[in-house]
Chains A and B, each alone.
Chain A
Amino acid sequence: MTFSSIIIQLLNGLAAASSLFLVSAGLSLIFGVTRIVNFAHGSLYMLGLYGAYSLIEALGRTPIGFWSAVILAALAVGLVGIVIEVLILRRIYRAPELFQLLATFAVVLVIKDIALFTWGAEDLVGPRAPGLSMAVEILGKCIPAYDLLLIAIGPVVLGAVWLLLTRTRWGALVRAATQDREMVGALGVDQAKLFTSVFFVGSVLAGLGGALQIPREPANLELDLAIIADAFVITVVGGLGSITGAFLAAVIIGVAKAFCIGIGTVTWFGFEISFSKLTLVVEFLIMAIVLVARPYGLLGKPQAVQRIAADPVPPLTAPSWKVALVWVVLLLGVPLVADRYITIMLTDIVCFALFAVSLHFIMGPAGMVSFGHAAYFGLGAYAGGLLFKRAGLPMEAALLLAPLCAGAFAVVYGWFCVRLSGVYLAMLTLAFAQISWSIVFQWDSFTGGSNGVFGIWPSAWLADKTTYYYLALACCGTGIALLWRVLFSPFGAALRAGRDSPLRAEAIGIDLRGFQWAAFVLVGALAGLAGSVYAFSKGSISPSTISIGQSTDGLIMVLLGGVETLTGPVVGAAVYTWVRDAVARHTEFWRAVMGCIILLIVLLFPQGLVGGLKALFLRWKEQRA
């Protein structure tokens, strides 16, 4: 690389960093005050892009039209943020944090379909910025003038946000609420208004980040989850709640990505290394390295514990094996009366039930929320498929070896993850899932790339759908029973003790980190089993089994059913899979319908379906007594 091309890549990186910084700053601000991990933040960014596109069309491709469109789009997205806060989040601030997360997933689904309905499924390519479409020559190479402007906007916004936070009363309130929002309320500050204003500012930043990108990238429906992954990485690398940290991280990651593209394919010591393929992974590698060295990010501090008078998690009730047996017998009988369609659907549900139960094990009783649980499900699916297809193993052997492969990945990923806690841990799990996804997605020659793997069918004696359903029931049922049993073993008790009070657990001699690592591997292997059973039932696998979408599906199942109950995840998996299928057969906009159903449940049953029904049942019993 010559000196001039290094400079060009640097400028490219800095230009890309600006939008990333804007989105991440908004996310960080909102998280700091409300403690909500706003998964819908990427959707707000996406709306910014679409909004700017439409407004430019309406206002004309003139400099005034363009810049008014950008600003109006950002403000409009701010209003959307206010609507989300006032209509949904304000009602559940006292609910457990994970439930607020579920609500933001639902918002993602709804916004995606609103965008699909309004703007259609085609990518929309915006105009170049009028008046700035020329290129500037730097060291003999051309760089778009608009990129230079973006490079300047990043630090300007950083300065503006910094002034807002340190020089105004609003800023003092925001910083105070980030540390102790209950105390701020006791001093006479209306938290609801403060939260709404923070949501507005954060959303405007996301919308602005999106709107400014319109000359650089087409508006499309995949941006929401793509950008939220980037924004999570940047906030975590920079340190949650640190705006300057977010800027630093955005610059580091933007530049690193630009260099990966710029370097291209290089041959070192006879090995061909494709740096451009690294672009999808490089930010997650940076994040993994930063978090292991600095568990709170570059400029972050340990999170303040918010004082909210929430009830402690009630102890789990042990599984009732008799009831479970009745269910198994019922499930065994279903194919005798039901048609092929229901049998196939039940096979799916059984796989997702084990997936959800394994996620519940790690996030509920073990207290380690995973945003990337699909990694193990997907890796299990791929391991099964590839052992069968590429290694030529018999299907039965491939099916049973797959969980071991997923478990092996969990050994590696888990080693890093158990070093962190809380949101940082959740983000790192997401990072590992994305790394796995992009490797699978790009390794055409081995994994089939974006097409996936085809022709992975079960052996002849299992080919019949009913027989395969029994196999799935046996495999996944055993997995679920094993996880439930383990929860009530001394090992499970130690994990639950570690969740409730890590310090005390370690003080009585529990090697908490070791136990958590073991738990990670156990659930990884069982999620892998679910994935491999799923793969052979479908006959093919695609990278979407490892995607963020699959991970959030798992979270929705667990949270929908209720994280405080043992059976909740199973019910959640069944209800979600069944309703999604039923809705998707009737409308193209099934996401919006699902999102609204989830929001309704969130607002009506803040303890999840099973928890809510239990509470209703208890109240009914009390009234009768």
Chain B
Amino acid sequence: MLSVKNLHAFYGRAHILHGVSLEARAGEVVALLGRNGAGKSTALKAIMGLVPPAQGEVTFDSQRIERLPPYRIARLGLGYVPEERRIFTELTVMENLEVGRQVGRGAAPAWTEDKLFALFPNLAGMRDRPGGRMSGGEQQMLTIARTLMGNPSCVLLDEPSEGLAPIIVEQMAHSIRMLKGEGLCVLLCEQNLHFSQAVADRAYIIEKGQIRFGGTMAELAANSSLREQYLSV
């Protein structure tokens, strides 16, 4: 469903991604793991067109997207959930969802506000609350719900567990497994190995803008030297 080949990207003059290749299939949760500054977020932004890729191929739904502007990529059914949540603080929950609304697509599950409130029950009670007056966990749920309003077939999640209370992290893991159950493809960035193990089928490890490992979660769990070398702080 999503395939990245030899992706290079720059921030200003800094060369961040040095030929990243990865793949994610429909109904699969893939984790992109790595330390701070390894290039995880940049990889997602480059796929989404927010950091224009300098070189490489990104194929989504058998369509090349590396030269498209972000809104065209989003309309093809690739959803993006940013790291810092980026909720529209002046807008209410319902208005935030409205901004995310796109027309439905054939294959992808179609979302409505009510269906999303069933997935994130906390949001149901605060439809008219401005985004700026929500807790971090509520904002994290809203940012995912907002992206789902675009009826994506694949979602890029940037550090969904960051800065959340343990109980909310549990709920988040549950929600991601439900998205997988709906047939969505999920590519998420994480520093939290524990969280990734709870949701992901496969994992890539990125370091200094290059992929160092790709395999199943079980393979990663069995290989402690790998974890030691690239993930432990």
- Is A540 at the interface (CB under 8 A from chain B)? no
Closest chain A residue to B99, Cβ basis: A176
Given contacts A186-B80, A187-B146, A311-B12, contact A179 B89 (CB under 8 A): yes
Contacts of B48 in A (CB 8 A): 186
Could you tell me the distance between the alpha carbons of A172 and B94 in the complex, rounded to whole angstroms?
10
Separation of A176 and B50 alpha carbons in the complex (Å): 17
Q: Which of B67-75, B179-187, B189-197 contacts A (4 or more CB under 8 A)?
A: B67-75
| Contact in complex: A183, B11 (CB < 8 Å) | no
Report A180-202 CB contacts with B as 1/0, cut-off 8 Å: 10111111111100000000000
Provide the B60-80 mask, 1 if CB < 8 A to any CB of A, else 0. Answer: 000000000111001100001
Shortest Cβ distance from A618 into chain B, in angstroms? 13
Interface residues on A, range: 20 to 34
Asked if B80 and A312 sit within 8 Å, CB to CB, the answer is no
The answer, yes or no, to whether B95 is at the interface (CB within 8 Å) is: yes
Given contacts A186-B48, A186-B74, contact A172 B99 (CB under 8 A): yes
> Is the Cβ of B74 less than 8 Å from the Cβ of A176?
no
What B residues does A187 contact at CB under 8 A? 71, 74, 80, 99-100, 102, 146-147, 150
CB nearest neighbor in B for A312? B12
A169 at the interface (CB under 8 A from B): yes
Which residues of the partner chain A approach B89 to less than 8 Å between Cβ atoms? Answer: 179
Residues of A within 8 A of B174 (CB): none
Chain B residues with CB under 8 Å of A189's CB are 71, 99
Are A185 and B12 touching (Cβ within 8 A)?
no
From known contacts A183-B86, A186-B50, A186-B82, infer whether A172 and B95 are also in contact, taking CB-CB under 8 Å.
yes
Cα-based distance from A179 to B2 in the complex (angstroms): 30
**Does B88 have its Cβ within 8 Å of any Cβ on chain A?**
yes
Contact across chains for B75 and A188 when beta carbons are under 8 A apart: yes
Shortest CB-to-CB span from A29 to chain B, Å, is: 14
In the complex, chain B residues whose CB is within 8 Å of the CB of A186: 48, 50, 70-71, 74, 80, 82
- Docked complex Cα distance between A173 and B88 (Å): 10
* A-B CB pair tally, cutoff 8 Å: 64
Interface contact A176-B91, CB-CB below 8 Å: yes
Residues of A near B80 (CB, < 8 A) are 186-187
Interface residue tally on B, bucketed by range = 20 to 34
How near does chain B come to A519, taking the closest CB pair, in angstroms?
A: 27
**Nearest CB on B from A96, distance (A):** 14
Complex alpha-carbon distance, A401 and B71, angstroms: 59
A454 vs chain B, min Cβ distance (A)? 54
A180 adjacent to B86 (CB under 8 Å): yes
Distance in angstroms between the alpha carbons of A182 and B100 in the assembled complex: 13
Chain B residue with Cβ nearest A194? B71
Closest CB in chain A relative to B65 CB, distance in Å: 13
Indicate if the CB atoms of B99 and A184 lie closer than 8 Å. yes
Report Cα–Cα, A173/B97, bound state, in Å: 11
| B61 CB, nearest partner CB in chain A, Å | 15
Does A175 interact with chain B (Cβ within 8 Å)?
yes
Interface string of B82-121 (1 = CB under 8 A from A): 1000101111000110111110000000000000000000
What chain A residues lie within 8 Å of B11 (beta carbons)? 309
Whether B99 contacts A185 by the Cβ 8 Å rule is no
**Closest Cβ–Cβ distance, residue A109 to chain B (whole Å):** 32
Q: Which of A183, A311, A312 has the most CB of B within 10 A?
A: A183
Contacts of A191 in B (CB 8 A): 71
A176 to B90, CA, bound (A): 8
Which chain B residue lies CB-closest to A173? B99
**Residues A169 and B98 in contact, CB atoms below 8 Å apart:** yes
Chain B residues in 8 Å Cβ range of A178: 90
Contact indicator A185/B91 (Cβ below 8 Å): no
Asked if residues B88 and A190 are in contact (CB atoms below 8 Å), the reply is no
- From known contacts A172-B95, A179-B89, A180-B86, infer whether A185 and B150 are also in contact, taking CB-CB under 8 Å: no
B51 contacts the other chain (Cβ, under 8 Å)? yes
Given contacts A185-B69, A186-B80, A311-B12, contact A179 B90 (CB under 8 A): yes
Q: In the complex, how many angstroms separate the beta carbon of A532 from the nearest chain B beta carbon? A: 43
Known: A187-B74, A188-B71. Contact between A309 and B86, CB under 8 A? no
**A180 to B132, alpha carbons, bound, how many Å?**
13
Which chain B positions have C-beta within 8 A of A179?
Answer: 88-90
Closest-CB distance, A184 to chain B (whole angstroms): 6
B85 CB, min distance to chain A CBs, angstroms: 10
List residues of chain B with CB within 8 A of the CB of A180: 86, 88
A309 to B10, CA, bound (A): 10
Of B90, B96, B150, which contacts A188 at CB under 8 A?
Answer: B150
Contacts of A169 in B (CB 8 A): 98, 101
Encoded as 1 (CB less than 8 Å from any A CB) or 0, chain B from 146 to 170 comes to 1100100000000000000000000
For chain B, residues 30 to 53, give those with C-beta under 8 angstroms from any C-beta of chain A: 48, 50-51
Closest to B11 in A: A309
Q: How far is the CA of A138 from the CA of B26 in the complex (A)?
A: 74
Contacts of B101 in A (CB 8 A): 169
Which residue of the partner chain B has the closest CB to A304? B89
Which has the most chain A C-beta neighbours within 10 Å: B70, B102, B150? B70
Contact with A along B125-148 (1 / 0, CB 8 A): 000000000000000000000110
Q: Which residues of A contact B70 (CB under 8 A)?
A: 182, 185-186
> A169-B98, A187-B146 given as contacts; is B50 within 8 A of A309 (CB)?
yes
Chain A residues lying within 8 Å of B90, measured Cβ to Cβ, are 175, 178-179
Q: CB-nearest residue of chain A relative to B143? A: A183
Alpha-carbon gap, A179 to B89, bound state (A): 8
Min CB distance, B123 to chain A, in Å?
17
The interface residues of chain B lying within 8 Å CB-to-CB of A309 are 11, 50-51
Q: Contacts A179-B89, A309-B11 known; A190 to B71 CB distance under 8 Å?
A: yes
Which of A173, A179, A186, A189 has the most chain B CB atoms inside 10 A of its CB? A186
Q: List 21 A–B pairs whose Cβ atoms lie within 8 Å, in order of A's numbering.
A: A169-B98, A173-B99, A175-B91, A178-B90, A182-B50, A183-B82, A184-B99, A185-B69, A186-B50, A186-B70, A186-B74, A187-B71, A187-B80, A187-B147, A188-B75, A188-B100, A188-B150, A189-B71, A189-B99, A311-B13, A312-B12
| A binding-site residues for B, Cβ under 8 Å | 169, 172-173, 175-176, 178-180, 182-191, 309, 311-312
Supply 14 further A-B pairs (C-beta < 8 A) apart from A169-B101, A176-B95, A178-B90.
Answer: A172-B95, A175-B95, A176-B91, A176-B96, A179-B89, A179-B90, A182-B70, A183-B86, A185-B69, A186-B50, A187-B99, A187-B100, A187-B146, A187-B147
Nearest 6 Cβ contacts at the A-B interface: A188-B74, A176-B88, A172-B95, A176-B99, A183-B86, A185-B70
